[in-house]
Structure 1
Amino acid sequence: MWKSNQEGFPTTQQSFQPDPAYDKVRWNGDISGEGDTNTKEEVSAKAFYAGTNDTSRGFLRKMVTLALSHSPEVRSSEADVLAAGYYVDQTKGQRWPQVQLGLSTPLSAQSNSGGSNRNNSSISDTSGSVSITTPIYDWGRIGSQIDSAEEGVTAAVNAQGYTKEQLAYSTISELMNLGRYQESRKVARSYVERMQQLTNMLAQIAEADQGRASEFTQAKAKLLSARASLDDIEHQVSSSRIKLVRLLGVEPNLPENISWQGAMMPASMALAALNKNPNLLKLQAQAKAATYEAESVAASGMPQLNWVVSKDTRKDVNGDETGWYTGLNVQWNAFSGGSQKAAQMSALAKANGAQQQYEVAYRDLEYQINSMIQTRDSSFTRANDFDRLSVETERVKNMFYDQWYNLGTRTLLDVLTAENDHFNNQLSAINNRYDGYISNINVISSAAMLLKWVGD
């Protein structure tokens, strides 16, 4: 149907409306009707961008600027924009008179009965020609090509904007991961030191009381486990620094007092900005460009009217040069074996494909924003839970230690388990909190507002 009927293509839709069903399925932190929900309050644009000049936001702005200047991906996108602009100039040039110059040098010629080649048979009879062709009427062929090329520029510019947004997200999220791992390393080092203290204590006790050698073995096992956890975190720190060197070109150092507590972007603000997302705008421009290309191909199948001026210095049988010629010329590809129609339908199919890609991208971004907001809010909820739990497990481990060391009512295994539980709760609080930070940055990036948020 598409090959024979242009109306078979769906109508291009340039925008969609957010699906309100997501608002009904996101969990807001209410458990078993207890209340105390964690739904983020709607903030104004002014409140969201507040703090652009604070120290932490300034550091992020500096890092993003460094990444943008270092990135070969950004330079590649700049070259694409430049190429698209030159293609517009190339297409517009078709509207100007097209001047063709020629030179003809005969090496030999056989005279016919009329002797028409008498003056065009040797190198000395070299002649030149000039032809000037100016399009008069082409059914909008060149105009459609120009519109298609200009949409290509729009697509390239938005592709560049999308590249910058993604680079900013990669940079900031990796800086946050580095902050996560450094904070986790402090906790892990404290845990290793605590396990080392208990192991040293048990070593002395085991020397005096051989019956407690098993406790010394248990303490050594926990110490080795703590060191393994620290080694894993050290590996994560190094991996994060390697990624940042790739992004920035230098090894960054996080400020000691950096704060990741940025404004929490609500779903309504993020979804409202989707129609300005550069990736969606790029797909829209690609669909329009393909549509204009189809119109240009269709126009090329119609008679083309040109104004022609020409001159040839070749001499006739009498030795005279031909005079100047000027007039109107009509050209028409009356039959092309169906290739012209196929090219038109191919362009329409590309336009339809770009439209479908736009819809897929929109739905994916809408899902991603809602999913990340759910992850962000629930991560902060769990982080608060683990913070409170860590306070309690710290009291438990201290009580267990006193009961084991002073009263003998607890075993060493109880003490080691309490220490391990407290360590794991601290890590869980850190990880969930940073998951929330990164999810919030992901929401801002999906709304294509991250560069504006950091003030770049």
Structure 2
Amino acid sequence: MSARALNAKSRRAGYAVSWLLCLAPLPAAGMTLEQAVRRGLEINPQVAQVEQEIGEAATNVDIARDGYWPQVGLSAGPEGFSTSNFGYDLTASQTLYDWGRVRSQVDGASAGLRQVEQERALVTEEAALDIVEVYLDVIGARERQAAVARHIEALERVAELARSRSEVGYTDRSESERAALELARAREQAALEAGALNDAVRQFRQLVGESPDQVTLPEPLALTDLLSESPAMLDSAVVSAPQFRQNEERMAEARAGSEEARAALMPRVNLEGSALRREIGGTMEDDIVVALRLRMEPFQGLSNVRRTTSADQRLEAARWGVEVARRDVERTVTSLIEHHEALTWRRQALEAQLDSAQRVAEAYDEQFSVGYRDVFELLNLQRDAFEAERQLVELATEQRRLQYRAAAQLGLLSPMMTHTEREMAHLLRTRHAAP
């Protein structure tokens, strides 16, 4: 091989090392993230379960409201041992005043219903986040696969150059053997990425019910930036989060239980009526009675009083639970914000590293063509550039993932996928004031 041809091949190998930060293009049309989440939620058994629990809680509210209606009882049967004498006892009772006991029962059941509704929000956000994470895993795995494929292509060119240099006696076989070693490592990495992609596809199919043949790269709103710029917006988002609201409803339920326990200590004013037919002195007699009655719950020791103490303690524990929920949500979201900022700095450093690698590759190309550089240096530069791009792919995926995690923590995954940044900012400012 002539020196000119060898230099031309060397220049092509140098260009192969010049690593540009460009991800593999995705199909223009396909299943969007919003579509995948919607389809996944439709077949999610946890979402279906919590929907039934909401129906049960709504029925319990209706049962509690039935306490405002009169109580009716009937007993009937033969009097004595004679089947010819048939007696009955029909009673009806309407509570006129109960110190708010039925109202407290309704309030408690309503708070329980709202708790389950917030549980539905939590379950839905968690299920949707699982789908989002797998969706991003599929895209990230395909991008890493494309990066490895480009890496292998560049290494094959360098390996071809090393073989050519060895054949003409310019170098020994050490360069070609080292290139073969790097190729083997790259192909092993390709196998690992293929396994990761297969696992992500399997999980996607299980969660969504379809294969991710075509998925589009989502660009989430910069939710962490919105929250970090405005502490007031962050506070409003925290107190509107499903976890916080669920604990607020738990406190409302405990408050209603405390009021019910206190009302149970007081006598109820009832209007009662009864219609009787019974045997008196061998003769069947009819009797009708209508009267006002005071009714109290039976006492067993100090159990009734202790129930009020227990209810108050439960209420106090629920108050602390609200504060615990606030701290947990705020701490989690703040941690996600800080993590996203750290990833941004790291991404900028990696981008600068790739840009520097590109300039070094151009310099190496010129120096290699005149014999100042060898294949070993080209391989080292190629490997460093590949590692930087692979890490950039992972960082980009992780940054998107953090935005969706923050949204799920605040119950904002659905608006995250449908709202503009301006609409999201308005929602964060006004959400807590909404009923």
Q: TM-score range by the shorter chain?
A: 0.7 to 0.9
> What is the DSSP-based 3-state SS (H/G/I as helix, E as strand, rest coil) of the residue aligned with 1:122?
coil
Q: Deviations over 1:186-208 (max 9, x none)?
A: 10111122223434554565566
Q: Deviations over 1:330-382 (max 9, x none)?
A: 22246322222333233333322222222122112212222212222332332
Q: Aligned residue for 1:86?
A: 59
Q: Aligned residue for 2:32?
A: 59
**2:293, 2:29 → 1: CA distance?**
69
1:98 matched to 2:78? The reply is no
Q: Aligned residue for 2:401?
A: 438
**1:340, 1:455 → 2: CA distance?**
53
Q: Deviations over 1:198-225 (max 9, x none)?
A: 3455456556659723333322221221
Question: Equivalent of 1:305, from 269, 279, 282?
Answer: 269
Q: Aligned residue for 1:39?
A: none
Report deviation, 1:126. 4.1
For the structure 1 residues 346 and 150, does the alpha-carbon distance in structure 2 shift closer, same or farther, using more than 3 Å as the test? same
**2:306, 2:169 → 1: CA distance?**
93
1:320 matched to 2:284? The reply is yes
Q: Deviations over 1:42-67 (max 9, x none)?
A: xxxxxxxxxxxxx9999232222222
**2:175, 2:329 → 1: CA distance?**
55
Look up the equivalent residue of 1:426 and give its one-letter code: E
Point out the more displaced range, 299-308 or 388-397: 388-397
Report deviation, 1:453. 2.8
Report deviation, 1:235. 2.2
Report deviation, 1:127. 2.9
Contact 1:127 1:314 in 2 (8 A): yes
Within 5 A, what are the aligned runs for 1:22-421? 59-105=32-78, 120-203=80-163, 212-255=172-215, 258-260=217-219, 262-264=221-223, 265-267=225-227, 268=230, 269-333=233-297, 335-397=299-361, 399-400=363-364, 403-404=367-368, 406-421=369-384
**2:143, 2:357 → 1: CA distance?**
19
Look up the equivalent residue of 1:429 and give its one-letter code: L
Task: Work out the number of aligned pairs and report it.
Answer: 387
Q: Which runs of 5+ in 2 are unaligned?
A: 1-27, 420-435
**1:241, 1:58 → 2: CA distance?**
14
Look up the equivalent residue of 2:221 and give its one-letter code: G
Superposition TM-score, scaled by structure 1 size = 0.77
Point out the more displaced range, 289-298 or 223-232: 223-232
Look up the equivalent residue of 1:446 and give its one-letter code: Q
Report deviation, 1:149. 0.7
For the structure 1 residues 262 and 225, does the alpha-carbon distance in structure 2 shift closer, same or farther, using more than 3 Å as the test? same
Q: Which runs of 5+ in 1 are unaligned?
A: 1-54, 106-118
- Could you say which structure has the higher helix fraction? 2
Relative contact order higher in (CA < 8 Å, ≥ 6 apart): 2
**2:92, 2:30 → 1: CA distance?**
61
Look up the equivalent residue of 2:415 and give its one-letter code: K
Contact 1:384 1:429 in 2 (8 A): no
How high is the sequence identity, in percent, across the aligned residues?
Answer: 20
> What is the DSSP-based 3-state SS (H/G/I as helix, E as strand, rest coil) of the residue aligned with 1:301?
coil
> What is the DSSP-based 3-state SS (H/G/I as helix, E as strand, rest coil) of the residue aligned with 1:212?
coil
**2:244, 2:136 → 1: CA distance?**
27
For the structure 1 residues 213 and 134, does the alpha-carbon distance in structure 2 shift closer, same or farther, using more than 3 Å as the test? same
Contact 1:178 1:240 in 2 (8 A): yes
Contact 2:31 2:212 in 1 (8 A): no
Report deviation, 1:85. 0.8
**2:115, 2:51 → 1: CA distance?**
12
Contact 1:376 1:437 in 2 (8 A): no
Q: Deviations over 1:95-132 (max 9, x none)?
A: 21111122334xxxxxxxxxxxxx62234444332221
Look up the equivalent residue of 1:419 and give its one-letter code: Q
Q: Deviations over 1:227-285 (max 9, x none)?
A: 222222222222222332233222234445x3425344412234332222122111101
**1:79, 1:236 → 2: CA distance?**
36
Superposition TM-score, scaled by structure 2 size = 0.80
Q: Aligned residue for 1:49?
A: none
Contact 2:53 2:116 in 1 (8 A): yes
Contact 2:162 2:375 in 1 (8 A): no
**1:337, 1:212 → 2: CA distance?**
99
> What is the DSSP-based 3-state SS (H/G/I as helix, E as strand, rest coil) of the residue aligned with 1:314?
strand
